[in-house]
C-alpha cells in the first residue's frame, strides 16, 4: 500500500459544522447561525446601564462601549457619564436613551 495523505485520515473523522453545533451540543439551528456570525451582544433591550460617552458618532449621537460593544446615545456630550436604557439591539451596535430620574 502507498502512503496515505494526512488530509484523507482527518476528513473521515471531521463532523460537519452545523451537525456538531446543533446535535452534539444541544444548540438550536437559530443559535448555531448566530454563533457563526459572531458573539452575541452583551446587552438586551430594556437593560439599564451606566456608561461614559467616549466620542460622537457621524450623526452626532454619543458613542459609549459596554464590554467593547458600541452603544449610541442621542443628546449627550463627550465625557458625560449617564444612565441609559437600551432601546434597540443590532448585530454590531445598540441604541439607548438617557434615563432621567
The answer to whether residues 32 and 62 belong to one domain is no
Cell numbers given for 16 = 460537519
> Distance between CA 93 and CA 34 in Å, rounded?
15
The answer to pTM > 0.75 is: no
pLDDT > 70 fraction of the chain, expressed in percent and rounded? 61
Higher pLDDT residue, 27 or 29? Answer: 29
The answer to whether residues 54 and 90 belong to one domain is yes
Does residue 16 sit within a domain? yes
Give the tens place of pLDDT for each residue, 37-78: 666 789 999 999 999 999 999 999 999 999 999 999 999 999
- What kind and span of H or E run contains 63? strand 62-66
> pLDDT confidence of 19, banded at 50, 70, 90?
very low
Domain count, the chain: 2
The SS3 of residue 86 is strand
Tell me how far apart the terminal alpha carbons of the chain are, to the nearest angstrom.
79
The answer to whether residues 56 and 76 belong to one domain is yes
The DSSP 8-state label assigned to residue 60 in this structure reads S
Residue keyed to cell 459572531: 38
**Looking at the predicted structure, is the pLDDT value of residue 34 above 80?**
no
Amino acid at each position: 500500500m502507498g502512503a496515505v495523505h494526512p488530509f484523507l485520515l482527518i476528513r473521515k473523522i471531521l463532523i460537519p459544522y452545523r451537525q456538531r453545533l446543533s446535535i452534539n451540543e444541544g444548540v438550536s439551528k437559530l443559535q448555531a447561525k448566530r454563533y457563526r456570525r459572531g458573539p452575541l451582544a452583551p446587552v438586551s433591550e430594556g437593560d439599564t446601564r451606566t456608561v461614559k460617552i467616549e466620542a460622537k458618532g457621524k450623526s452626532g449621537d454619543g458613542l459609549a462601549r459596554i464590554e467593547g460593544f458600541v452603544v449610541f446615545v442621542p443628546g449627550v456630550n463627550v465625557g458625560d457619564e449617564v444612565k441609559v436604557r437600551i432601546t434597540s439591539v443590532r448585530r454590531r451596535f445598540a441604541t439607548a436613551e438617557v434615563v432621567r430620574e
